[in-house]
Amino acid sequence: MSQSSTSQTPESSIVPAIEIKGLKKTYAASKKAPAKTALHGVDLVIPRGSIFGLLGPNGAGKSTMINILAGLVNKTEGTAKICGFDIDTETRSARASIGIVPQEIAMDVFFTPFQALELQAGYYGVPKSERRSMEILEALGLADKRDAYVRQLSGGMKRRLLIAKALVHNPPVLILDEPTAGVDIELRRQLWAYVEKLHAAGTTIILTTHYLEEAEALCDRIAIIHQGNIVANEPKSTLLARLDKKVLRISPVEPLTALPDALSDLNAKLDHDGHIVIEYRSGTDSVTGMLNRVKDSGVSIADLRTEEADLEDVFMALTYAGDAE
Ligand code: ADP
Ligand code: MG
């Protein structure tokens, strides 16, 4: 598939940030739980320069995928490359190419934020002259906490410190696993603003989330993962158009027993209560037009309401065919 490298081609234009092929993970059975396949052979390419959202409900396999890239979980099958470096055969270069902000806040509480960053820089072999610990603390609003003990920091500060730690080696790719789960609105805004700033400065951003609004607000491309399978992977605008499915529910004065023939070309059906249910797209279909069609077919309208598809409906729709569980 990939061409053998020619030194003429600019690397960034051909090498994706992440290239995952046939990635499978089965967690072994334990006394408490049977074996669990969290990833079923995932293929995923994440282009450089994107803010990429990996969106899926709890248990979908997001953290498993991120933790495999981070070297924290061993994959069962498949390959993964980070900026072209294979995580098995070019592990050091692969690790140097990403910073990972884990979902769980687990930190050594005996260090100050400044010490924690210096230590992390040491792990990555960043020479003292190239360290930017203070600059990073400042960027994340932690400058005045440089000498505080980590255990004295608030939850929000700890989360920002985790981001700071992921940045010490200046990685071209930053992965944030559920960065705003349990974070208040003000901090969420700050984090989003900072992520956008990093992106503008050239960092490829990958974030996992189970909030559609978060992926929608930040990402230019979104993949949806559900039960260990990627079920969609497209530009945000395409995906949102797909989510743009709405339902118009019309209650006639007299419940209907059959749908008027005149409405057969609308995406309409009758529900159990004799109401008309029409699926439509708010971007393209006109509600007024549909209502006029219903009136013209001789139905007197008593009441109406519209309903939006939520994320769970979308997962259902996308995974309807061929679900294993
Ligand atoms: P997400 O991050 O999308 O919420 P995870 O990757 O954490 O999903 O989990 C995917 C599935 O794998 C879930 O069913 C979860 O229970 C299971 N799982 C995750 N980690 C482990 C583990 N260490 N041992 C066994 N099963 C696990
Ligand atoms: Mg997770």
| Position with higher pLDDT, 198 vs 180 | 198
Residue nearest to atom 25 of ligand 1 (CA): 27
Residues flanking ligand 1, CB < 6 Å: 27, 36, 38, 56, 58-64
Q: Relative to the CA of 58, which ligand 1 atom is closest?
A: 4
> Tokens 């118009």 belong to which residue?
248
pLDDT at 311: 62
User: Do the Cβ atoms of 293 and 266 come closer than 8 Å?
Assistant: yes
Report which protein residue has its CA nearest ligand 1's atom 15. Answer: 59
pLDDT value, residue 65: 97
Report which of residues 264 and 52 the model is more confident about. 52
* Residue 321, pLDDT score: 46
Residue 96 has pLDDT above 60, yes or no: yes
Taking all residues of the chain, what is their mean pLDDT, rounded to a whole number? 88
**71 has pLDDT over 50:** yes
- Expressed in angstroms and rounded, the spacing between residue 217 Cα and the centre of ligand 2 is 20
Helices (H) and strands (E) in the chain, counts: 11, 14
Two structure tokens written together for 79: 């390959």
The confidence score (pLDDT) of residue 10 equals: 52
Which residue among 44, 54, 64, 225 is best mutated to probe the pocket of ligand 1, counting the most ligand atoms within 8 A of its Cβ?
A: 64
Dist. CA 69 → ligand 2 center (Å) = 14
Instruction: Please state which of the ranges 99-103, 111-115, 245-249 shows the lowest mean pLDDT.
Output: 245-249
Question: What band does 284 get if pLDDT is binned at 50, 70 and 90?
Answer: confident
What the block records as the tokens of 117 is 């960053």
Q: What's the pTM value of the predicted model, to 2 decimals? A: 0.79
First and final CA of the chain: distance in angstroms? 33
Ligand nearest to the CA of 57: 1
* Residue 182, pLDDT score: 73
For residues 145-178, one letter each, b for 16 or more C-beta atoms within 10 angstroms of the residue's C-beta and e for the rest, the string is: bbeeebeebeebbbbbbbbbbbbbbebbbbbbbb
Q: What is the DSSP letter of 5?
A: P
- Please compute the mean of the pLDDT values over residues 267-287 and round it to a whole number: 88
pLDDT of residue 181: 76
Residue nearest to atom 5 of ligand 1 (CA): 61
Distance between Cα 59 and ligand 2 center (Å): 7
> What pLDDT, in 10s, does the model give residues 6-58?
445 555 457 999 999 999 999 999 999 999 999 999 999 999 999 999 999 89
Ligand nearest to the CA of 28: 1
Cα(26) to centroid(ligand 1), Å: 10
Q: Express each pLDDT in 209-238 by its tens digit.
A: 988 888 888 999 999 999 999 999 999 888
Percentage of the chain surpassing pLDDT 90?
64
* Best mutation site among 24, 25, 27, 175 for ligand 1 pocket (most ligand atoms within 8 Å of CB): 27
Centre of ligand 1 from the C-alpha of residue 65, in Å: 10
Of 24, 36, 104, which is best to mutate to test ligand 1, by the most ligand atoms within 8 angstroms of its C-beta? 36
Angle, alpha carbons 103-104-110 (nearest 5°): 135
